[in-house]
Structure 1
C-alpha cells in the first residue's frame, strides 16, 4: 500500500515559502534602493570647468528630484559656490578667483541628493598664474564675455564679475534712466550688478562702454529690453474691485467691524491704495476711510475722507484716460457730494458728482446689493494728459464737515469697481 509522507511535504512547503519570501524581499530592497536614490544631473552633462589664470565664473543648471547640495572636495579660498544647495530644478554659480601662483590648481565638486552621494562630479581646473615680472596683456570684460544682455518687460537684476587687470570705469552711452550699473568704477576683479527697470513702453536698447586705465576699449555690452505694444483706445490701465477687502458688513448702516485704512492688514495696504490724514481739529489725525466687504466707505460724521489710487504705472508716455467707477450714498439723510481729481500729471473733465444713488432702506441686504447694480451707480470722467505718475483721487464731501462748515455733518460715500482705460 502506497503511503504519503505528509511531514516531508509540509517541511518542503515551508522551505519553498521561505525562499520565495526571501527573494521577494531582496527584489523589493533593490527596487527601493533604486527609488530612494534621487534624480540629479547637470544640464548638458558637463564634467570639467577649465578656468584661465585670470579667473572666471560659470552658472550651471541643476535638474533634480530632491534636495541637492554641492560638496567641494575641500575648502578653497579661491573658489566660491552660490548657492551651495537647493530643492528640485535650479542653478548654482561657480566663481574662481585669479591665480597668482605659478602652479595650476584644481578641485572636484561632488553632489548629494536627499543626503545620498550621487555619481556626478564636476572638476574645476585653473591654469597657473603668469608670474611676477611678466607683462600681461590688458583686459576688461564681464565673466562669460557676453556681448548682449536681454531682459523681459518686467525688468531684471543680473550679477556679474568684472575681470580687469587695471583701473577701470564703465559708462552708459546716452545715460538712459532705466538701466543702473553698480559700481561704475574700480580696480581689478569686482562684482558688478546690472539693474533694469520695468518697461511699460516700446522695446529699448542701451550700450555699456568699458574703459581701462582711462582708455576706452573695443568691447561693448548691448542691453536690450523687450517692450509692450503701443497702447490704443480701450486698453486697460487699472481695474480694481476691492474684493480683497473683507471687513465689516455689506449692509450699509451696520458699521460694526468696518476698519479704517490705518488698521488694514499688511497685505491689503500692499495693494497701494492710500488716503490723506485728516488734520481738521477734532479729527484725531487719521484718515477717515473704511474697508467693507469688497468696497470702501469715504467719511464719517463731521469729517470727510479721500481715496487715492496707486500710480497708474501701466500708462505709456502721456495718454488721455477714461475713469469709470461705482458710487452709492450711505443714506438718504447724508449730503451727496463726491469730488474727483488727480495727484500728479493730468486734468479731469469733471470735478464733482452728486451721488443720488442710495439703498432704501440701507438696513436691508437685498436693497444694498441692488443699489450697486442700479444704472445710477455708475459714473465716469476723463483725465487729459496722464502719465505713469498719475493717481486718481476721490473725496467724499470735504475734510471738515462740522456744523456750520458743510451743509450736513455727514457726507458718506461708498466706492467700488474703479476701472481706468485709454481714451
Structure 2
C-alpha cells in the first residue's frame, strides 16, 4: 500500500484529451481578448451626448472626442443641410456639427455613427431639427460673429482666429476695399457656420479694413472693422493719399470742349467706389445735383451760375494725429471765369490757407497743346498744410461759391480744373 504523502506526477500526454483541449482553448480566448483591447482602443464623447435638438433657424455645436485611435464620424446618409467639420481625427479632439436653417415645415433628422480604427462603435448622435412654421418669415433675423462686436484689434504679428458666425439665413462677407491682408474662409454660407479669419503680418504702418456683412443679400448697418497695429511709425514725407484721376476717361482734354464730360451722379459704380464725393447744390434753379464733371484724368468744378466742390475719401492711412501737406494742380477754365478756389477739410484738422486765386489759364483754351502746357506750368501747383488731421479727415475743394448767379458773385462762372492731389505727412 502506497503512503498518503506520496506525490503522483503525470505526464501531459497522459491527461484526458478533453481536458487538454479545454485548457488550450481558454488560453487562446484570453489572449485574443487582450489583443482586441489593445487594437480597438477606447472611444467616447465627453458628457455622453446622444441627441442634438435644433430649432428651425439652425444651430452649431462642438463635441469633444476622447479616443485612443483613429476615429470617424459617419452620417447615416449624406444631407446638404448638415455639415460636420472635421469628419475624422486621431486621438482626443473635437468636431463641430452645423445645422442649416430649415425652410420646410417638415421636421428632419439624421443619425451620426462613429468608428474607431475602422470598427463601428456603440455611440450614436441623433440630430433632430424642427420644421419651419412661421410662413417663411424669420422672427428677429440676425447675423453676428461669436466673440466679436464691430471691431477686431490685431497685433503686428497677425493672427488666425476660429469663430462661429451665427445667422438666421444666407450670409456673405465682403471686403470693402479688397484688402489682401485680411482673409475670411468661407466667405458665404447659410445658418450657423464655423469661419476662419486670417490677418497677415504687418511690417508697415497701422491699417484698417472693413468687412461688410450681408444677410439674405441685405447689407447690415455695421461692418466689422479690422484694425491692425504697425511696426513702422509715420514720418515726414510718408504718402497717405495720391490721386491722379486717370481712372476717369470722359470727354476731352481740351478745356472748352464740354461734350462728353460727365457729372459725378453718372459715374460708374466702380468709379464711385473710389470714395470721391461732392455736395448737392441746393441753390434755387440749380437742379439739386452736384456740379462737378469728369474729364480724361482730371475734374472740373462748377458750371454756369452754380459752383461745385470735391471731397476726398477719408484719409484712412493717417496714423494717429498728424500734420499733413496737401499739394494739387489747378487751372482756370478760361480768362473770363472768376478765379477763386476755396480749400478746407471735413472732420478733424485746420488748414493753413483757405483760398487760392487760380490765375493759371490755357491760352487759348481750345488748343490741346496749350491745355496740356497749362497743367505743366509751375503756377499750376498749389499747396497748404492741415494741422491735427486724423484718419477721419477729408480734403475739401470748392470752385468759388455754390451760388454764382448774377448779383451774388463777381462772375456767373467760376470753373476750376483740379488734378494730381497728393497728401503727405508734414512736420
Give the TM-score of the pair, scaled to structure 1: 0.56
Does structure 1 retain, via aligned residues, the 8 Å contact 2:45–2:63? no
Q: Which of structure 1's runs of 4+ aligned residues deviate more than 3 A?
A: 50-58, 76-79, 93-98, 122-131, 149-159, 190-204, 223-226
Q: Does 2:286 align with 1:283?
A: yes
Alignment match of 1:393 (pick from 393, 396, 400)? 396
- Where does residue 331 of structure 2 map in the other structure? 328
Task: Give the drift of 1:196.
Answer: 9.7
Cα-Cα RMSD:
4.5
Which of residues 106, 114, 139 is equivalent to 2:114?
106
Rounded Cα–Cα distance in structure 1 between residues aligned with 2:207 and 2:295: 41
Q: CA offset at residue 74 of structure 1? A: 2.8
Question: Does the CA-based 8 Å contact 1:231-1:316 persist in structure 2?
Answer: yes
Distance (whole Å) between structure 2 residues aligned to residue 286 and residue 156 of structure 1: 45
Q: Distance in 1 between matches of 2:119 and 2:343?
A: 65
Q: Deviations 1:33-64 (Å, cap 9, x if unpaired)?
A: xxxxxxxxxxxxxxxxx994576489xxxxxx
The 1:201–1:335 alpha-carbon spacing in structure 2 relative to 1, beyond 3 Å, is same
In the alignment, is the contact (CA less than 8 A) between 2:323 and 2:387 conserved in 1? yes
Give the 3-state SS of the residue equivalent to 1:279 in structure 2: coil
Per the alignment, residue 300 of structure 1 pairs with 303
Q: Match for residue 314 of structure 1?
A: 317
Q: Which residue of the partner structure matches residue 347 of structure 2?
A: 344
Which residue of structure 2 lines up, in the alignment, with residue 128 of structure 1? 123
2:75 and 2:113 in contact (8 A); partners too: no
1:366 aligns with 2:369: yes
Q: Is the 8 A contact 2:314 2:391 kept in 1?
A: yes
Per-residue deviation at 1:126?
A: 8.7
Q: Secondary structure of the equivalent of 1:262? A: helix
Deviations 1:42-91 (A, max 9, x none): xxxxxxxx994576489xxxxxxxxxxxx9883258950589xxxxxxxx
Q: How does 1:17-416 map to 2 (within 5 A)?
A: 52-53=45-46, 56=62, 74-75=77-78, 79-80=82-83, 95-96=96-97, 105-106=113-114, 128=123, 160-161=163-164, 225-416=228-419
Q: How far apart are the structure 1 equivalents of 2:157 and 2:264?
A: 29
- Alignment check: 8 A CA contact 1:336 1:355 kept: yes
How far 1:369 sits from its partner (Å)? 0.5
> Aligned-pair distance for 1:284?
0.3
Structure 1 residues 159, 380: closer, same or farther in 2, change over 3 A?
Answer: same
Question: How many residues in Structure 1 have an aligned counterpart in Structure 2?
Answer: 276
Contact 2:328–2:422, Cα closer than 8 Å, also in 1: yes
Query: 1:160: Cα distance to partner?
Result: 2.4
Report if the CA contact (8 A) 1:57-1:161 is conserved.
no
Distance between the aligned counterparts of 2:416 and 2:227, measured in 1?
A: 47
User: In structure 2, do the counterparts of structure 1 residues 126 and 227 end up closer, same or farther at CA, with 3 Å as the change threshold?
Assistant: farther
The runs of 5 or more residues in structure 1 that have no matched partner are 1-49, 59-70, 84-92, 109-121, 132-141, 144-148, 163-189, 205-222
Instruction: Determine if contact 1:52/1:126 at 8 Å carries over to the other structure.
Output: no
Structure 2 segments unaligned to the other structure (5+ residues): 1-42, 48-60, 65-73, 87-93, 100-110, 127-144, 147-151, 166-191, 209-225
Whole-angstrom CA distance in 2 between matches of 1:151 and 1:126: 43
